[in-house]
Structure 1
Amino acid sequence: MEPGAEGELGGVAGWAVDLMERLGSPGAGLAIALENLFPPLPSELILPLAGFTASRGTFGLVEVLVWTTVGSVVGAVALYLLGRVLGAARLKRIADKLPLTSADDVVRAEGWFARHGSKAVFFGRMIPVFRSLISIPAGVERMSPVRFVALTAAGSGIWNTVFVVAGYLLGENWMLVERYAEVFQLLVLLAVVAAVAVFVYRRVRSRVAPTAG
């Protein structure tokens, strides 16, 4: 960072910079692991900042991409294990005690995840808050750990690369990335909705066709 630049950064950005300066690229990975566990920490801010820090020569671009993806996987696996430990039965009991929720909500979530689990884990890595929460039903439904890690690494790798490289290329203007993050997330969300719509359309058509014949 240039003299005075660090002093201008406060809050999450200042904390992330301090972590990366102390630990190097593993610090960026740690920040992203914590972002998975505590969704209010915005990866849309941390990742471009990591890219900018790499552009200053603090660490290499490939190095920070590897570490941030490792951090994403570590944070996701922690929540996946939480889901496996709690299990569906405990979650149903907890849901019954919470306002505006019931065990039926858990049952519906289980059914939805059973149909769209792989897509949800992959695309979910690119949607705020959801990218953390999706790990829990994956654990509850005992998705194959190898499959879960592979899908998480693939989805996270794409998300991290887009934002880290953008921060790297923009340099001092890395904060511009955050402004366009919502657009990228909206495109991903639309893609997921479109995929579900196509799935539903094909399923309905396959059931109606024999009847029509």
Structure 2
Amino acid sequence: MDTTANSTELTGIAGWAVELMERLGGLGAGIAIALENLFPPLPSEVILPLAGFTASRGRFSLAEVLLWTTLGSVVGALALYGFGVALGRDRLRRIVDRLPLVRLSDLDRTEAWFARHGDKAVFFGRMIPIFRSLISIPAGVERMPLGRFTLLTTAGSLLWNTVFVLAGYFLGENWHRVEDYAGVLQKLVIVGVLAGLTVWLVLRLRQLRGERRATIG
């Protein structure tokens, strides 16, 4: 089965990605990953193994797909970093100040955490579903040096992309098995985030009730 036949059998995001890679080669894989960074619902866990499979069929080389997908990751991350810079710390504080249940002290603690762990957050964040897109925005807001942000993003993206591209390359027509395992990881991350938000919300509501009682008393 060649890639042309494969693209006719695939539908949705997978079919779109294959068509893009068939038309543009490695550049198409890079564009798909850049868009995945900007629109997290586009799953890199599908696009990357599929790019590896396409490379195994000789459409382009393995080195080429790794180069283009990593470049796409960096371009997408830089776009979101630029959004964070444009948003700015002062504007973000004004937005947070208007949000219910959120205080500026929460933002202050977040900024302090990012100041201590920003490098690790950017590097390892490239390997966590959903967060690999979102982490670029606080990096821009906090004005992390652009060179350091780009280096950390490139290193983290190259590691993540290599694992999934190689999996698709060696699994061949069974590349879709990667999605099953990656889907479990993504679900665990989402459940963890929702659990954390739930705990935070419960604690914050209790705190507000306590303050209200103290004021009335």
Q: How does 1:119-138 map to 2 (within 5 A)?
A: 119-138=120-139
**Partner Cα separation in structure 2 for residue 25 and residue 3 of structure 1:** 16
Give the letter aligned to residue 162 of structure 1. Answer: V
CA gap 1:11/1:96 in 2 versus in 1, 3 angstroms: farther
Please state if 1:114 is matched with 2:106. no
Aligned ranges 1:57-206 → 2 under 5 Å: 57-182=58-183
Q: Which residue of structure 1 aligns with residue 55 of structure 2?
A: 54
Partner of 1:5, secondary structure, is helix
**What letter matches 1:164 in structure 2?**
V
Cα offset, 1:86, TM superposition: 1.0
Aligned to 2:31: 30
Runs of 4+ in structure 1 over 3 Å off: 1-4, 96-105, 182-188
Normalized against structure 1, the TM-score is what?
Answer: 0.82
Maintained 8 Å contact 2:3/2:54: no
Greater alpha carbon shift after TM alignment, 150-159 vs 177-186: 177-186
Distance 1:82 1:53, change over 3 A: same
- Displacement, 1:84? 1.1
d(CA) in 2 for partners of 1:129, 1:95: 22
What letter is aligned with 2:66?
L
The Cα shift of 1:175 comes to 0.3
Q: What amino acid does structure 1 have at the position aligned with 2:88?
A: G
Question: Please, which runs of 5 or more residues in structure 2 have no aligned partner?
Answer: 190-217
| Deviation (angstroms), 1:3 | 5.7
**Aligned counterpart, 2:210:** none
Give the letter for the 1:54 counterpart.
Answer: A
Q: Distance in 2 between matches of 1:78 and 1:178?
A: 26
Structure 2 distance, partners of 1:107, 1:56, is: 51
Q: Distance in 1 between matches of 2:4 and 2:110?
A: 51
Using a 3 Å threshold, how does the CA distance of structure 1 residues 127 and 54 change in structure 2: closer, same or farther? same
Q: Aligned partners of 2:4, 2:16: CA distance in 1, in Å?
A: 17
Identity %: 71
Q: Is the Cα–Cα contact under 8 Å of residues 92 and 102 in structure 1 kept in the other structure?
A: no
CA displacement at 1:107 relative to structure 2: 2.1
Partner of 1:192: none
When structure 1 is superposed on structure 2, of 161-170 and 77-86 the one drifting more is 77-86
Cα drift, residue 187 of structure 1:
11
Q: How many residue pairs end up in the alignment?
A: 188
Distance in 2, matches of 1:107 and 1:182, equals: 34
- Would you say the 8 A contact 1:126–1:185 is kept in 2? no
Q: Describe the superposition over 1:175-208 as per-residue Cα deviations: whole angstroms up to 9, x where unpaired.
A: 01112225677999xxxxxxxxxxxxxxxxxxxx
Q: CA RMSD in A?
A: 2.0
Q: Secondary structure at the match of 2:88?
A: helix
Greater CA drift, 157-166 or 95-104: 95-104
The structural deviation recorded for 1:111 is 1.1
Letter aligned with residue 159 of structure 1:
W
| Alpha-carbon shift at residue 8 of structure 1 (Å) | 1.9
Shift of 1:114: 0.5
Q: Distance in 2 between matches of 1:100 and 1:56?
A: 53
Distance in 2, matches of 1:170 and 1:150, equals 30
